[in-house]
């Protein structure tokens, strides 16, 4: 049988252990708080790389285009905007300036803007902060080390996370790829760095473009089953 003295000693020991654990817990909480304050300030972007933007509160960074005035969206682009906002759960208000810029850039480069919309859908799901395991960044998933020569002089830090720069450089890369490879399918495959014989990447992009065109066809009351750029089955 335990003596009164032993019971008293064990009680004190248990109390000391409880106090020790409590002190350790408070120290850990304090360290985590300081760590979070230093490395995760409250004004940092709340969107993690690889996650699509959702809701009206998460807007794209402001464009810095040198174009004096952006033209209103064409009916095709308006239909694309509505379709993309719904399909990818992105704020329509946030996307509209990007689509206006995209329309202007594609007019300059003589590219179909719906093709670029489809590429962005496949590449980043319209997350301007997306980054792949290979280091591809932004809306059109550009690998910086391969395209630094295409940046403007005032590009600043992390230029490929700037939606306008990413868009302009991405359109230029794709236009050059299509021209050098001699066709849309081969150009898309080259843009993605894909060597698959079935042209899987190009098919995904063109299928998305077809869905966008069908959305415009339904809105305009035309036949949505006759897309202008159907998917293909080979890279030839």
Tokens of 111: 């590219």
* Per-residue confidence (pLDDT) for residue 197, from 0 to 100: 83
Beta-ladder partners of 137: 131, 142
Mean pLDDT by 10 residues, the chain (236 residues): 48 48 46 38 33 35 52 92 95 94 94 97 95 93 89 82 93 95 95 89 96 88 52 42
Give the whole-angstrom CA distance, residue 213 versus residue 226: 9
Domain 75-220 classification at class level: mainly alpha
Beta-ladder partners of 90: 55
* Per-residue confidence (pLDDT) for residue 9, from 0 to 100: 52
* Per-residue confidence (pLDDT) for residue 79, from 0 to 100: 94
What is the 3-state composition of the chain as percent helix, strand, coil, each rounded to the nearest 5? 60, 0, 40
Give the whole-angstrom CA distance, residue 34 versus residue 176: 49
Tokens of 214: 């069908």
Tokens of 39: 């490395």
* Per-residue confidence (pLDDT) for residue 179, from 0 to 100: 95
Which of 163, 160, 28, 11 has its CA nearest to residue 100? 163
Residues across the chain? 236
What backbone torsions phi and psi does residue 158 show, to the nearest 5 degrees? 45, 55
8 A C-beta contact, residue 91 and residue 146: no
* Per-residue confidence (pLDDT) for residue 53, from 0 to 100: 33
8 A C-beta contact, residue 142 and residue 155: no
* Per-residue confidence (pLDDT) for residue 104, from 0 to 100: 94
What residues have CB less than 8 Å from 184, skipping those under 6 apart?
115, 178, 202, 206, 229
On the 0-12 / 13-18 / 19+ scale of CB atoms within 10 A, 144 is middle
* Per-residue confidence (pLDDT) for residue 210, from 0 to 100: 96
Give the whole-angstrom CA distance, residue 201 versus residue 116: 14
For the chain, domain boundaries:
1-44, 75-220
On the 0-12 / 13-18 / 19+ scale of CB atoms within 10 A, 33 is exposed
Radius of gyration of the chain (CA): 26
């Amino acid at each position: 049988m335990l003596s009164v003295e032993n019971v008293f000693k064990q009680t004190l020991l248990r109390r000391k252990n409880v106090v020790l654990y409590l002190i350790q817990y408070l120290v850990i909480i304090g360290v985590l708080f300081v760590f979070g304050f230093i490395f995760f300030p409250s004004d940092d972007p709340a969107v993690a790389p690889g996650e699509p933007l959702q809701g009206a509160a998460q807007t794209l960074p402001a464009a810095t285009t040198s174009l004096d005035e952006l033209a209103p969206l064409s009916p095709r682009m308006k239909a694309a905007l509505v379709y993309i906002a719904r399909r990818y759960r992105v704020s329509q208000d946030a996307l509209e300036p990007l689509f206006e810029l995209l329309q202007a850039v594609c007019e300059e480069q003589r590219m179909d803007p719906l093709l670029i919309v489809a590429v962005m859908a496949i590449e980043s799901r319209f997350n301007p902060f997306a980054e792949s395991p290979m280091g591809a960044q932004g809306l059109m998933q550009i690998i910086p080390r391969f395209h630094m020569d295409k940046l403007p002089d005032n590009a600043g830090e992390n230029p490929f996370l700037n939606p306008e720069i990413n868009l302009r450089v991405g359109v230029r890369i794709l236009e050059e790829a299509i021209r050098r490879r001699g066709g849309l399918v081969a150009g898309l495959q080259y843009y993605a760095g894909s060597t698959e014989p079935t042209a899987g990447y190009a098919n995904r992009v063109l299928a998305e473009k077809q869905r966008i065109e069908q959305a415009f066809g339904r809105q305009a009351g035309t036949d949505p089953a006759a897309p202008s750029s159907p998917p293909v089955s080979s890279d030839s």
